[in-house]
């Protein structure tokens, strides 16, 4: 089954063709990073306009790269939630028009389900059930993946996502947007252990996380150094910041595995590309006897291939949509996508 998929939840326009949820035939991405870097972060209106400008040509490129004609496509999939609402609407509207024109099913996919499904593309042997640590710019979740479309959130951030915290910390350290890679590169110049940063705990919810205090602490340290003229060891602060994020994520992932009884853990999302966090996860899983799957860096960030991978299993579960499909800025990963409904006459 060949699926043409679209991902426009934030600042990457992505179109891919996948086959049977496990094989990537093409994966075309148009990045908006250079534009948003001018503002130090994503500007939603600019992102929406850029998606509109890029998506038609990118679709033609994805089909050409896959050596597929439009008639070869069996279904169309699209990220419908969560994300920037204007950006999502571009992808949803375009996907609906493609599905209608081709006369094929339309499959809505939750963005974080897609990140988790990126592991299916990298590891053909992987099957649920397993535990997933999904860490991206807008979401930080511990998810019990019971099967391909049944998922339960075991823990999540109560405020900022880890990826957002990386971007804000990078800004105060004078690093470019997006902040993940620049902070990692800066951190390689120090062994850390210089700055004491907070580690938040949520009373009564040991698997939940909080990153707002960590973000504020980094901002305050940088501003204090600037105002007093004291030297700021930027490399050490970057290394200690990453360590603080890792010390929030990794122990909770291990505790979630213990509580759920899962012996397989998958990382997912852009923050899963961080080398220090990957190392800490590997070491913790080795000690606990847990099998760890780390997707390649190319599949950690936003892409449409991961949406096509999850879409295959959503289709098998009967999760298709009609032309009433809408976009949602927020939506629980555990909720089923909006299902196909029977058209009813409107009331006058």
179 and 217 part of one domain: yes
Distance, in Å, from the CA atom of 229 to the CA atom of 7, rounded to the nearest integer, reads 45
Lowest mean pLDDT among 212-226, 265-279, 328-342: 328-342
Residue with tokens 């496509």: 73
* 278 shares a domain with 212: yes
Task: Look at residue 298 and tell me whether its pLDDT is greater than 70.
Answer: yes
| Residue 142, strand partner residues | 133, 155
83 near 329, Cβ under 8 Å? Answer: yes
Shared domain check, 167 and 18: no
The answer to whether the CB of 339 falls within 8 A of the CB of 321 is yes
Residues 94, 52: one domain?
A: yes
Query: Per the domain annotation, does 56 fall within a domain?
Result: yes
Return the percentage of the chain with pLDDT > 70, whole number: 97
Residue carrying structure tokens 């971007």: 167
For the cut 50, the answer to whether the pLDDT of residue 301 exceeds it is yes
Pair (178, 47) in one structural domain = no
- pLDDT score, position 294: 97
Same domain as 307, residue 289: no
With H, G, I as helix, E, B as strand and everything else as coil, classify residue 75: strand
Q: 134 and 97 in one domain?
A: no
Helix, strand or coil, per DSSP, at residue 224: helix
Domain, as residue range, for 166: 127-299
Residues 144 and 106 in one domain: no
Let me know if residue 18 belongs to a domain. Answer: yes
Nearest to 324 by CA among 311, 339, 305: 339
In a domain, 340, yes or no: no
Contact between residue 262 and residue 291 where contact means Cβ atoms under 8 Å apart: no
Say yes or no: 107 and 243 in one domain: no
* Residue 117, CA distances (Å) to 59, 147, 228, 231, 267 in order: 21, 11, 48, 44, 10
Residues 143 and 103 in one domain: no
pLDDT at 342: 46
């Amino acid at each position: 089954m060949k699926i043409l998929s679209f991902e426009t939840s934030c600042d990457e326009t992505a179109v891919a063709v996948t086959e049977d949820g496990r094989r990537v035939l093409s994966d075309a991405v148009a990045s908006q990073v250079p534009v948003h870097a001018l503002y130090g972060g994503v500007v939603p209106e600019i992102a929406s306009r850029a998606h509109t400008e890029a998506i038609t040509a990118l679709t033609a490129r994805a089909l050409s790269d896959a050596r597929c004609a439009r008639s070869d496509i069996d279904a169309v999939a699209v990220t419908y939630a969560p994300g920037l609402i204007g950006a999502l609407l571009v992808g949803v509207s375009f996907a609906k028009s493609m599905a209608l024109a081709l006369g094929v099913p339309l499959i809505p996919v939750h963005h974080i389900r897609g990140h988790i499904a990126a592991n299916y593309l990298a590891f053909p042997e992987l099957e649920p059930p397993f535990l997933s640590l999904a860490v991206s710019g807008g979401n930080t979740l511990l998810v019990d993946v019971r099967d391909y479309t049944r998922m339960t959130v075991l823990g999540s951030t109560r405020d900022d996502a880890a990826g957002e915290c990386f971007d804000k910390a990078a800004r105060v350290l004078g690093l470019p947007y997006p902040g993940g890679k620049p902070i990692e590169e800066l951190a390689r110049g120090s062994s850390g252990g210089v700055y004491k940063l907070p580690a938040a705990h949520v009373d009564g919810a040991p698997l939940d996380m909080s990153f707002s205090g960590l973000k504020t602490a980094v901002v305050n340290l940088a501003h204090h150094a600037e105002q007093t003229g004291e030297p700021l060891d930027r490399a050490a602060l970057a290394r200690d910041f990453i360590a603080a994020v890792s010390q929030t994520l990794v122990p909770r992932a291990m505790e979630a595995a213990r509580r759920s009884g899962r012996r397989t853990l998958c990382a997912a999302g852009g923050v899963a590309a961080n080398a220090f966090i990957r190392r800490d996860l590997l070491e913790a899983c080795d000690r606990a006897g847990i099998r760890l799957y780390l997707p390649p860096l190319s599949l950690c960030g936003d892409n449409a291939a991961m949406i096509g991978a999850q879409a295959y299993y959503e289709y098998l579960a009967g999760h298709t949509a009609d032309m009433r499909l809408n976009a949602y800025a927020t939506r629980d990963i555990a909720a089923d996508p909006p299902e196909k409904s029977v058209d009813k006459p409107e009331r006058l």
